[in-house]
Amino acid sequence: MGFPAMRALAISALALQGACLAIDRDAAPTIEARASWTYLGCYTDNVSGRALPNGEQVPGGTNAMANELCQSTCQADGFTLAGTEYAGECWCGNAIGNGGALSTNPSSLCTMTCKGNAAETCGGPNGLSVYQYGSSSPPTSGTGKRGLAYNNNNPTANAEYANLFAGYSSVSWGYDWGYPSYNLNPSFEFVPMLWGLPSGSDPGWTAAVQTVGTKNILGFNEPDLTYSGSSNILPANAAAGYATYMEPFAGTVKIGMPNVLWNNVGSSSGGNYDSAVWTQYFLGNCTGCHFDFAAIHYYQDCDPADGQSGAAWFQGNVTNAYNTLHLPIWITEFQCYGTDAQQVAFLQTVLPWLDAQSYVARYAYFGVFPDYLVNSAGTGLSDIGMAYATT
């Protein structure tokens, strides 16, 4: 479960989108914000720690600088915030950092006309003229345990489906079976995952873990299974992988155990193990490893044919994982199989229960895709998504 194979396709779509974004040189000089961009205000900036971290070259260089040009450049690179400064600089990011704050005195801070358009203001020596893509006020961060399992396989090759959940207070985090976040709304915590075993040194993974704002990291995706959507790794090899790629970050971020299908019986990772046995062997091999939480998956019928309760089975498995592993539990994928109405009823039963269990730290229902938590058109939440966001 999870769609890592689609990611390569989506990356090339993003590059294409960037190349097609034309610069609107004919725009009337008084128009400072491109369509879908709104002015947030003049922000203080700090040369030793930038309010927006990514300095960008714009087409035509410093002398062509105008706010729209900075916006289109930031947008093509997948950012939601664009800021101009010192008449000719363009800075991009997804959140204001390093203590940058809305100025109480913009007329003395953002004082310089843009080098490419004298009718516009492009910040000042220490002031940033900031514009935001999308909604005019940033959504407030959620605080709940609920998360978004999403990917960038959509028309904008971005986190756009996950971002439909921005502003729901129960939803606080997201992951995409890998990294980067593909522009997940900054009101969510992005949690990078090391999906499978790298073949050598992996500076991209290190950079993802060390990205400002990373607090938690997820390890291998279903190493206990053998099908194509799983990472299929023998316990001893997975343990060696953890020692190399996860353990160095112990103490700086919270480390999750491998994501295993907890209710799986009889599948194999070349060794014909149940997932519980795979986990036992993994722990047996990972002797020096530090874990902050365990990560499990669960898939089963909403209403089993024999009249048993799908919700009770799910709760039984979550409880059993905690009693076995004695770590906070993240359920990084779960879904019950059934009609939309059956899934809604299941969520209405299990979500309050999950929120009430102190040992359940986080969870993510599968998944943030059209016809799952998102409607068929990809334009809003489905009934299941609405139940997930609001129960």
Q: Applying CB under 6 A, does 323 fall inside the site for ligand NAG?
A: no
The token pair at 214 is 């990373």
d(CA 21, CA 57) in angstroms, rounded, equals 15
Q: Applying CB under 6 A, does 211 fall inside the site for ligand NAG?
A: no
Q: Applying CB under 6 A, does 125 fall inside the site for ligand NAG?
A: no
Considering only residues 130 through 189, tell me which ones interact with ligand NAG, judged by CB under 6 A.
none
Q: Applying CB under 6 A, does 242 fall inside the site for ligand NAG?
A: no
H or E segment at 279?
helix 275-285
Q: Applying CB under 6 A, does 366 fall inside the site for ligand NAG?
A: no
Q: Applying CB under 6 A, does 197 fall inside the site for ligand NAG?
A: no
Q: Applying CB under 6 A, does 210 fall inside the site for ligand NAG?
A: no
Considering only residues 23 through 82, tell me which ones interact with ligand NAG, judged by CB under 6 A.
46, 48-49
Name the minimum Å distance from CB 283 to ligand NAG.
7
Q: Applying CB under 6 A, does 375 fall inside the site for ligand NAG?
A: no
Name the minimum Å distance from CB 334 to ligand NAG.
11
- State which of residues 204, 213, 251, 284 lies at the interface with ligand NAG (CB under 6 A): 284
Q: Give just the sign of the alpha carbon dihedral 176, 181, 185, 188.
A: positive
Q: Applying CB under 6 A, does 320 fall inside the site for ligand NAG?
A: yes
Q: Give just the sign of the alpha carbon dihedral 301, 307, 311, 312.
A: negative
By C-alpha distance, which of 191, 244, 241, 196 is closest to 220?
196
Using alpha carbons only, what angle is made at residue 385 by residues 384 and 389, rounded to the nearest 5 degrees?
120
Q: Applying CB under 6 A, does 226 fall inside the site for ligand NAG?
A: no
d(CA 71, CA 64) in angstroms, rounded, equals 13
How does 59-76 read in b/e, with b if 16+ C-beta sit within 10 Å?
eeeeebbbbbbbbbbbbb
Count of residues in contact with ligand NAG, rule CB under 6 A: 18
Residue 85 exposed, middle or buried by CB count within 10 Å (0-12, 13-18, 19+): buried
Determine the interface stretch with ligand NAG among 21-29, 54-62, 158-166, 311-319 (rule: CB under 6 A).
311-319
Q: Please identify, using beta-carbon distances, which residue of 18 and 53 lies nearer to ligand NAG.
A: 53
Using alpha carbons only, what angle is made at residue 173 by residues 370 and 153, rounded to the nearest 5 degrees?
30
The token pair at 245 is 């790629």
Task: Say how many residues make up the chain.
Answer: 391
Name the minimum Å distance from CB 52 to ligand NAG.
13
Q: Please identify, using beta-carbon distances, which residue of 72 and 269 lies nearer to ligand NAG.
A: 269
Determine the interface stretch with ligand NAG among 142-150, 166-174, 216-224, 278-286 (rule: CB under 6 A).
278-286
Considering only residues 91 through 120, tell me which ones interact with ligand NAG, judged by CB under 6 A.
98-99
- State which of residues 317, 335, 349, 382 lies at the interface with ligand NAG (CB under 6 A): 317
Strand residue runs (E) in the chain: 37-44, 54-56, 81-85, 89-93, 113-114, 117-121, 127-133, 146-149, 171-175, 189-190, 216-217, 254-261, 293-301, 329-337, 360-365
Residues at the site binding ligand NAG, with contacts judged by CB under 6 A: 46, 48-49, 98-99, 234-236, 263, 271, 281, 284-285, 300, 313, 316-317, 320
